[in-house]
């Protein structure tokens, strides 16, 4: 049984034949009541054009609303995916409707806006990695159905990325670990073809069109139901149902230099594909891809919505508010990410500075120890040279040696002292070179620090100068 069907109201006026873009999908046949127009289900893509044009309400469609509620009553575990357009069509009732479904047994509620974000990422990733230009988007099952039936030669130009609904369904099953059956609250009657396609392996099970779902909830009110919200945060995927919604997502991320061809409408869409099939097939287009939708006003007023015929302006105003909020949230997330990156950089720089400072501290400790030994030796030298007159100074020198934990026995014999002095000075000349290396190391570390290290660097520079002076003085003593 197909999606679009002819009921008893048909009088065979042929308006559906004239408006249909799919040759042979509407067929005039003789019945007992006269001429009627039947639907050839193999050729119908469920674009909804015949439903729109029929003045006799002779065309209708089927979805899975009745089966969905019957399975819920039997205790089937079901979670729901929600098209972004549902919030725009029912901004005031949105949470109340979800609350009623929750009270009836629905397990979880996930907005397909998140799946749209995945789809956008998939498009950009595939285009950039494979240089795949001039393709046709495939969120719209009616467009995909038309290409499959009437232009199979351009099937290879369909973007190999799933629709937002399928991306959301796959994510929910694979990454959230949800094993429930999945129902899709949908603005589109053709989504049933996508859901029932055996290639999609029953990842989703029910197509619940806005119009029939809301009609059922109104006819079967749920008392005591509390408002309920959907799960998972999402970004600009929430504006996919707008005409050019996918294009706007790409422009938001890549800038408007990334040319995307926008095309929609039950007639314009398919006429465009027919006229440009050879160009598309040969890759002779200058754009990234075609943002292709069946419905002139996008999924906001899709074939399964209540507002399709009235084109209620409130729906358009609601999606503009959603768009504004989504962009503001995207900016907040971007600012937060920038802040996080900045904090991470600051933390890394601080860690580097801490490491450098720790290295300087260790080197300074070596310098300090060397300086104590140097002071001790110099004191010994002066005491020995002073002889008896320098006994008082020798006492001080011994105290310095004790404090430095490196005391040496003071020589009484001046000849022995002179020999010790010469040996010591020779060692000092050698050690002063090591001191220079230590100071150079400290100076190198200090250079990686910024303004906060300027005082340390200045001190180190002074120490280098003093070290060279000490080295020169010691050489002079050795030579005398």
Q: Are residue 57 and residue 68 in the same domain, yes or no?
A: no
Q: Are residue 44 and residue 150 in the same domain, yes or no?
A: no
- Residue at which a domain ends, from 311, 339, 371: 311
Q: Are residue 57 and residue 67 in the same domain, yes or no?
A: no
Whichever domain contains 39, its CATH number is: 3.30.70.20
Q: Are residue 125 and residue 249 in the same domain, yes or no?
A: yes
Place of tokens 């006492």: 395
The answer as to whether 30 is a domain residue is yes
Q: Who wins on pLDDT, 383 or 162?
A: 162
What count of Cα atoms within 13 Å lies in the side-chain half-sphere of residue 212? 23
- With cut-offs at 50, 70 and 90, classify the pLDDT of residue 403: very low
Q: Are residue 367 and residue 442 in the same domain, yes or no?
A: yes
Query: Residue 428 is part of which domain span?
Result: 351-479
Q: What are phi and psi of 177, to 5 degrees?
A: 70, 30
Residues 6 or more apart whose CB falls under 8 angstroms from that of 28 comprise: 12, 14, 17, 35, 36, 37, 38
The pLDDT score that the predictor gives to residue 336 is 38
pTM confidence score: 0.68
Most confident by average pLDDT, 66-70, 225-229, 342-346, 415-419: 66-70
Q: Who wins on pLDDT, 268 or 234?
A: 268
- With cut-offs at 50, 70 and 90, classify the pLDDT of residue 465: low
Q: Are residue 80 and residue 31 in the same domain, yes or no?
A: no
395: closest CA among 405, 382, 369, 406?
Answer: 382
Average pLDDT over residues 82-93: 93
Q: Are residue 29 and residue 71 in the same domain, yes or no?
A: no
- Asked if the model's pLDDT at residue 414 lies above 70, the reply is no
Q: Are residue 96 and residue 34 in the same domain, yes or no?
A: no
- Mean pLDDT taken over the chain: 79
The answer as to whether 320 is a domain residue is no
- Residue at which a domain ends, from 279, 311, 343: 311
- Asked if the model's pLDDT at residue 263 lies above 80, the reply is yes
Q: Are residue 289 and residue 192 in the same domain, yes or no?
A: yes
| Digit-coded pLDDT (tens) for 170-179 | 999 999 999 9
Q: Are residue 373 and residue 468 in the same domain, yes or no?
A: yes
Angstrom distance (rounded) from CA 408 to CA 398: 8
The answer as to whether 86 is a domain residue is yes
**Domain count of the fold of the chain:** 3
The answer as to whether 318 is a domain residue is no
User: What sign has the CA pseudo-torsion 445, 446, 447, 451?
Assistant: positive
- Which of these ranges, 102-116, 396-410, 435-449, has the smallest mean pLDDT? 396-410
184: closest CA among 211, 167, 208?
Answer: 208
Q: What are phi and psi of 360, to 5 degrees?
A: -65, -40
Average pLDDT over residues 379-387: 47
Extract the tokens encoding 221. 């009110």
User: What sign has the CA pseudo-torsion 320, 324, 329, 335?
Assistant: positive
Angstrom distance (rounded) from CA 169 to CA 164: 8
| Digit-coded pLDDT (tens) for 279-291 | 999 999 989 999 9
- With cut-offs at 50, 70 and 90, classify the pLDDT of residue 436: low
| Digit-coded pLDDT (tens) for 27-59 | 999 888 789 999 999 999 999 999 999 999 999
Q: What are phi and psi of 413, to 5 degrees?
A: -85, 120
């Amino acid at each position: 049984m197909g999606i679009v069907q002819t009921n008893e109201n048909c009088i065979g006026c042929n308006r559906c034949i004239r408006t249909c873009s799919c040759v042979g999908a509407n067929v005039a046949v003789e019945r007992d009541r006269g001429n009627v127009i039947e639907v050839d289900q193999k050729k119908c893509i469920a674009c909804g054009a015949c439903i729109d044009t029929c003045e006799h309400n002779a065309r209708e469609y089927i979805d899975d609303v009745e089966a969905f509620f019957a399975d819920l009553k039997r205790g089937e575990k079901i979670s729901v995916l929600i098209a972004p357009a549902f919030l725009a069509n029912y901004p005031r009732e949105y949470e109340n409707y979800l609350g009623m479904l929750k009270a009836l047994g629905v397990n979880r509620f996930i907005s397909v806006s998140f799946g749209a974000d995945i789809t956008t990422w998939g498009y950009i990733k595939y285009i950039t990695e494979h240089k795949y230009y001039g393709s046709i988007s495939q969120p719209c099952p009616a467009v995909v159905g038309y290409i499959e039936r009437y232009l199979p030669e351009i099937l290879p130009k369909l973007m190999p990325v799933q629709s937002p609904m399928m991306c959301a369904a796959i994510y929910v099953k694979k990454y959230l670990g949800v094993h429930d059956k999945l129902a899709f609250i949908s603005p589109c009657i053709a989504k049933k073809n996508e859901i029932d396609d055996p290639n999609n392996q029953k990842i989703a099970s029910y197509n619940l069109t806005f119009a029939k779902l809301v009609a059922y909830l109104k006819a079967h009110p749920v008392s005591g139901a509390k408002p309920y919200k959907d799960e998972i945060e999402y970004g600009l995927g929430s504006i996919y149902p707008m005409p050019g919604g996918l294009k706007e997502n790409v422009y938001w991320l890549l800038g408007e230099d990334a040319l995307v061809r926008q095309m929609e409408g039950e007639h314009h869409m398919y006429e465009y594909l027919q006229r440009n099939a050879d160009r598309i097939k040969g890759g002779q287009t200058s754009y990234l891809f075609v943002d292709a939708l069946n419905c002139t006003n996008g999924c906001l007023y899709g074939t399964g919505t209540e507002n399709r015929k009235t084109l209620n302006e409130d729906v358009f105003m609601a999606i503009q508010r959603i768009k504004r909020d989504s962009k503001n949230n995207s900016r907040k997330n971007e600012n937060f990410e920038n802040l996080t990156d900045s904090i991470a950089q600051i933390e890394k720089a601080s860690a580097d500075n801490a490491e450098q400072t720790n290295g300087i501290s260790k080197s300074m400790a070596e310098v300090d120890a060397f300086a104590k030994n140097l002071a001790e030796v110099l004191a010994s030298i002066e005491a020995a040279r002073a002889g008896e007159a320098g006994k008082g100074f020798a006492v001080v020198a011994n105290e310095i040696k004790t404090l430095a934990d490196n005391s040496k026995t003071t020589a009484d014999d001046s000849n022995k002292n002179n020999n010790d002095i010469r040996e010591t000075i020779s060692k000092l000349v050698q050690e002063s070179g090591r001191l220079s290396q230590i100071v150079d190391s400290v100076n190198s570390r200090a250079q990686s620090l910024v303004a906060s290290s300027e005082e340390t660097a200045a001190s180190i520079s002074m120490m280098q100068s003093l070290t060279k002076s000490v080295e020169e003085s010691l050489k002079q003593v050795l030579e005398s």
